[in-house]
Amino acid sequence: MSTTHDELAGIVDLFGALTRGELAAACSELAFKQGQDVDKPELDAKIEAALDAYVLAEYNPVDASEVTERSVDEPEPLVTVGPTAFPTLPPNAEDLPHILEFERRSVDRERLATQVCERLCVEGAAAVDAGETDRAAELVDVAYDIELWAPLETEDIRAQLIAALPQD
């Protein structure tokens, strides 16, 4: 199955947010409708690459501090549309919500934005510390995208990333 990152985001956008297993099932159903096969390891790698590129974002509906011994297990993280996505529906995807009985989920946009920004800070610091200038340059672009996507300031991490880039 040939699916771009933005098409993965389009599939997720149909449902608001999905578990990774649900996203894989949706992609399998779509591949069947398109007369194609799904290579599970390849699909997993595409999902990881889309997460790495911030096209998809992992969303934890509950903070770890909110989970107590008395509560049920911490809910599985969800995958939702990230700040660099341009969600695009692949052919035949519009019928997926009618075929798959996944619940439509909404995400707390403020919580999601905070989680994505925290991830950017962690990954940005790691890229700077490791001298990974290519990754730092990618994350500068992500920082700008986050500011357009959510009412957050990424100026501090962006400045650190820019300072780590080779100066011409």
How far apart, in whole angstroms, are the C-alpha atoms of residue 115 and residue 36? Answer: 35
What pLDDT does 72 receive? 57
- Other beta carbons within 10 Å of 99: 13
On whether the CB atoms of residues 130 and 159 are closer than 8 A, the answer is no
In a shared domain, residues 69 and 127: no
In a shared domain, residues 82 and 118: no
What pLDDT does 74 receive? 65
Establish if 82 belongs to a structural domain: yes
pTM of the model: 0.90
On whether the CB atoms of residues 105 and 77 are closer than 8 A, the answer is no
Expressed as residue numbers, the domain containing 40 is 5-99
In a shared domain, residues 42 and 87: yes
What pLDDT does 67 receive? 45
The values of phi and psi at residue 63, to 5°, are -70, 150
Q: How many domains does the chain have?
A: 2
The long-range contacts involving 132-140, CB below 8 angstroms and separated by at least 24 positions, are 133/164, 133/165, 133/166, 136/161, 136/164, 136/165, 137/161, 137/165, 138/53, 140/165
In a shared domain, residues 95 and 116: no
In a shared domain, residues 93 and 113: no
Would the pLDDT of 70 be above 70?
A: no
pLDDT in tens, 96-153: 999 998 989 999 999 999 999 999 999 999 999 999 999 999 999 999 999 999 999 9
On whether the CB atoms of residues 133 and 168 are closer than 8 A, the answer is no
Establish if 93 belongs to a structural domain: yes
How far apart, in whole angstroms, are the C-alpha atoms of residue 37 and residue 158? Answer: 41
Q: Which of 77, 99, 121 marks a domain boundary?
A: 99
